Amino acid sequence: MAPVLRCRRMIEFIARRVAPPAPLADGEFMVSATANATGGFAVLATTEPAVARGFVDGPHGNRLPFYVPPRSCPAVLLVFEAGQWRRVDLAFLPVSYPCIALLPDGEVLVVSLCKPWTGQGWERRNAHVFGPDGAHRRAFALGDQLEQVVVDDDGTIWTAHGDEGWSDDDVDFSGLIRWDGNGRRLWGSGVACCDAAVNASDGLAWAFRWRATLIRVREGVTQEFDSPVDGVHAIVVDGDRLLVAGAVEPGGPGDELSWCALVGGVIQRSEAAGIVDVDGQPIREWAVLACHGSRLYLHDDGDGYRCVDIGADVSGAR
């Protein structure tokens, strides 16, 4: 159960270590990492990061991510499940500058955040699905200028799009879109705004809309709330309680954690929040990996991966 709100200086949440660092082989570099709604982790790695993060010349002399690397680029997926890491060699790396997300049944989604350039034209299909054996299964379009890709526990895909992608035919002036696992569009916000910090779980999605609005999407209906925190880049939710990462003051540090509550249709900031390990020691070097429901997944550099469940992992206050 989430703690009762009181006047405190800081509430602390326990970040439990749930996975060790991915066992990269000598010469391998991490390209992307993710966590899914059930606590699985995955890391995409390669021995040729310069190729995996390469660009090609676009039609106007600009530099763009490419579709299908100009030469073979080895790619391996490391997946953490049942308490151990396993390695899967992917058939090929289809796009440069990829991000990944885990789909049901052992599938992995590899996405170029920008619509890639083939050398002769644009390639709409910037999303590729690989099976648990590493074989390429299907490809489809998820729109241009993606800021974030999240897969919820139903296996549907949520994408947030920046302003340069709104006019793309697949985006159609929606900052937030929901798709099925085959790339069929299920819902779009219909609002050309920068949405980010997407949390999708159990049919409910939250996001931060530039400049200072939190939005909640349930069964295709969107509600908007003034945000007490600026520049939110992570949201975790337990009922009417929220933990958000952003700047308490406009222009302030962007990694401050705030404990908030939805009261009478208004989201109020109650107090500052912190993250500690199981021994109560503060954890300061962390990066947000994913948000699913009440769970915040973190990459703790050097110590692997951690999870904060705001509905359960409360340490106390100081």
Which pLDDT value is given to residue 3? 40
Please give the model's pTM, rounded to 2 decimal places. 0.90
Q: Which amino acid is at 54?
A: G
Q: What string of pLDDT tens digits covers the 318 residues of the chain?
A: 334 334 446 899 999 999 999 999 999 999 999 999 889 999 999 999 988 988 877 787 778 787 777 777 899 999 999 899 999 999 999 998 899 999 999 999 999 988 888 878 888 999 999 999 999 999 999 998 899 999 999 999 999 988 877 888 888 889 899 999 999 999 999 887 877 899 999 889 999 998 789 999 999 999 999 999 999 999 999 999 999 999 998 878 888 999 999 999 999 999 999 999 999 999 988 899 999 999 999 998 778 999 999 998 676 545
Is residue 50 classed as helix, strand or coil in its secondary structure?
A: helix
CATH 1.10.287 is right for the domain spanning 10-317: no
pLDDT of residue 307: 96
The per-residue DSSP string of 20-48 comes to PPP-PPTT-EEEEEEE-TTS-EEEEEES-
For position 57, what pLDDT does the model report?
78
Query: Is residue 269 within 8 Å of residue 263, measured between CB atoms?
Result: no
Q: Look at the block and give the residue holding tokens 């995955």.
A: 42
Domain boundaries, the chain: 10-317
- Neighbouring C-alpha atoms within 13 Å toward the C-beta of 277: 13
As a whole number of angstroms, the distance between CA 133 and CA 25 comes to 19
Q: How many CB atoms lie within 10 A of CB 266?
A: 10
State residue 296's pLDDT score. Answer: 97
Q: Given the DSSP bridges, would you call strands 230-238 and 304-309 parallel, antiparallel or unpaired?
A: unpaired
pLDDT at 145: 86
